[in-house]
């Protein structure tokens, strides 16, 4: 059954608040500890963290901070185009995927959008602000007649991966997709590929994302974005990051399998995930994660997800032991 209800008129269907993962500073303040004491499993960032060499690279290339970014997003644009098998003109480098989400509804002049719920909120918030009607699509619903479909694969928060429905147009948000799978997609007719690179390489503070689309769509989006697409440092960092992508994909797979096994050991129910997080529910009461200063993502805004929690992936043995210590209580 399709909801066919706009968020402007029916806030009981769509949430009115827009929480996000992260918030380590606030958690540390609430728990009276240092930020370094918080185990942040709320965001789905890569479990290995940033590359070990990043600090040295930033030091060696500090002079780039004195230069405006290339207006076309070079050298990152051409290198990413080659990686994905598309033309440089079909690539738009951005300050994270969020930079595009903020303006895409105005740029494309969409008046209606369908989105599978529960979901990540930012497209809903930005559509609402632009006066675009949003139709909720729940499991088993048929697709509504809308200007665009917002499709996230792997889905956030469930983690399931499904191809963009054939014959429809809209956005494929591939921010949590393994990089090896992104290489196989190419240019998709009537679909705007939107991706973040901050999660794979754990560099959210540097803000780096991209769009893959037809040149005409790229030009529409550019008209709504600042003249400098991303920071000079981020654009020059990408060539150094990309050779690590496959290794980081394997690390995500291994850590995700380990997490599912750990949850099963303590009889948690979990969804099968293809992302860098796992959505799960405890067999009894929800543990007090604050007791171990572990930050996780809960979903008070979605009635369907009450009692569920989304775990990012631990990395170090100490972090795994810390998580197990709270799961076994």
Same domain, 161 and 301: no
For residue 13, being part of any structural domain is answered with no
Q: How confident is the model at residue 17 (pLDDT cuts 50, 70, 90)?
A: low
CATH number of the domain that 281 lies in? 3.90.1150.10
Whole-number pLDDT of residue 141: 77
Strands of the chain (E only): list them: 39-40, 91-94, 112-116, 133-137, 148-152, 170-173, 191-196, 209-212, 269-270, 277-281, 294-295, 297-298, 309-312
CATH number of the domain that 210 lies in? 3.40.640.10
For residue 152, what is the enclosing H or E element? strand 148-152
Whole-number pLDDT of residue 15: 58
Residues 69-89, mean pLDDT to the nearest whole number? 97
Q: Over 90: is that where the pLDDT of 139 sits?
A: no
Can you give the length of the chain in residues?
329
Same domain, 122 and 178: yes
What DSSP line would sit under 270-301, residue for residue?
A: E---SSSEEEEE-SSSPP-GGGGTEE-EE-TT
pLDDT digits (tens, 9 = 90+) for 114-126: 999 999 889 999 9
Q: Over 70: is that where the pLDDT of 323 sits?
A: yes
**Number of domains into which the chain is organized:** 2
Same domain, 303 and 255: yes
pLDDT digits (tens, 9 = 90+) for 97-107: 999 999 999 99
Q: Over 90: is that where the pLDDT of 11 sits?
A: no
Q: Are 127 and 134 in contact (CB under 8 A)?
A: yes
Burial of 241 (0-12, 13-18, 19+ CB in 10 A): buried
Strands of the sheet containing 297-298, edge to edge, are: 269-270, 277-281, 309-312, 297-298
The DSSP secondary-structure symbol of 235 reads H
Whole-number pLDDT of residue 5: 34
Q: Over 90: is that where the pLDDT of 33 sits?
A: yes
- Who contacts 191 (Cβ-Cβ below 8 Å, separation ≥6)? 164, 169, 170, 171, 172, 213
Region for residue 307 given its phi and psi (left: phi exceeds 0; alpha: psi -120 to 50; beta: otherwise): left
Burial of 156 (0-12, 13-18, 19+ CB in 10 A): buried
Same domain, 216 and 308: no
Tokens 């051409």: give the residue: 78
pTM tops 0.85, yes or no: yes
For residue 56, being part of any structural domain is answered with no
For residue 37, being part of any structural domain is answered with yes
Tokens 């500090």: give the residue: 62
Q: Over 50: is that where the pLDDT of 163 sits?
A: yes
Q: How confident is the model at residue 1 (pLDDT cuts 50, 70, 90)?
A: very low
Residues 34-43, mean pLDDT to the nearest whole number? 93
The two structure tokens encoding residue 295: 């930050």
Same domain, 131 and 255: no
Whole-number pLDDT of residue 22: 73
| 3-state SS assignment for residue 111 | coil
Domain range for 43 is 24-49+246-327
Percent of the chain whose predicted confidence (pLDDT) is above 90: 84
209-212/191-196 β-pairing = antiparallel
- C-alpha neighbours within 13 Å on the C-beta side of residue 22: 8
Residues 271-278, mean pLDDT to the nearest whole number? 96
For residue 8, being part of any structural domain is answered with no
Higher-confidence residue of 15 and 166: namely 166
Whole-number pLDDT of residue 16: 59
CA distances from 26 to 15, 295, 327 (A): 22, 11, 23
CA distances from 11 to 8, 17, 135, 217 (A): 7, 10, 12, 32
Residues 210-224, mean pLDDT to the nearest whole number? 97
Whole-number pLDDT of residue 196: 95
Same domain, 110 and 219: yes
Same domain, 145 and 169: yes
Distance CA 43, CA 32 (A): 21
The Cβ of residue 211 has, within 10 Å, a number of other Cβ atoms equal to: 24
Whole-number pLDDT of residue 14: 58
- Please identify, among 243, 276, 304, the residue that sits at the C-terminal boundary of a domain: 243
Whole-number pLDDT of residue 207: 94
Same domain, 32 and 119: no
Distance CA 300, CA 298 (A): 6
Q: How confident is the model at residue 248 (pLDDT cuts 50, 70, 90)?
A: very high
């Amino acid at each position: 059954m399709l909801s066919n209800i706009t968020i402007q008129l029916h806030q009981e269907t769509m949430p009115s608040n827009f929480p996000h993962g992260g918030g380590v500073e606030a958690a540390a303040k609430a728990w009276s500890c240092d930020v370094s004491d918080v185990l942040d499993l709320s965001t789905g960032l890569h479990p290995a963290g940033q590359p070990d060499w990043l600090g040295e690279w930033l030091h060696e290339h500090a002079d780039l901070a004195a230069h405006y970014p290339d207006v076309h997003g070079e050298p990152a644009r051409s290198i990413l185009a080659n990686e994905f098998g598309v033309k440089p003109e079909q690539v738009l480098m951005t300050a994270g995927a969020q930079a595009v989400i903020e303006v895409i509804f105005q740029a494309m002049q969409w008046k209606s959008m369908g989105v599978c719920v529960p979901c990540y909120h930012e497209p809903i918030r930005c559509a609402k602000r632009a006066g675009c009607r949003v139709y909720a699509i729940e499991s088993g619903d048929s697709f509504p007649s809308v200007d665009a479909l917002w499709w996230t694969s792997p889905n956030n928060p469930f983690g399931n991966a499904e191809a963009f429905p054939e014959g429809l147009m809209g956005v494929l948000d591939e921010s949590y997709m393994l990089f090896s799978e992104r290489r196989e997609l190419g240019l998709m007719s009537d679909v705007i590929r939107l991706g973040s690179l901050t999660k794979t390489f754990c560099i959210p503070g540097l803000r780096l994302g991209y769009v893959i689309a037809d040149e005409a769509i790229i030009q529409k989006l550019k008209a709504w974005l600042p003249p400098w697409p991303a920071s000079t440092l981020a654009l020059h960092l990408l060539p150094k990051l990309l050779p690590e992508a496959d290794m980081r994909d394997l690390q995500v797979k291994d850590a995700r399998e380990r997490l599912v096994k750990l949850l099963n050991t303590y009889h948690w129910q979990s969804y099968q995930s293809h992302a860098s997080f796992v959505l799960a529910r405890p067999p009894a009461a929800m543990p007090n994660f604050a007791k171990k200063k572990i930050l996780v993502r809960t979903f008070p805004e979605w009635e369907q997800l009450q009692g569920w929690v989304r775990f990012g992936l631990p990395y170090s043995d100490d972090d795994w032991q810390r998580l197990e210590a709270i799961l076994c209580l």
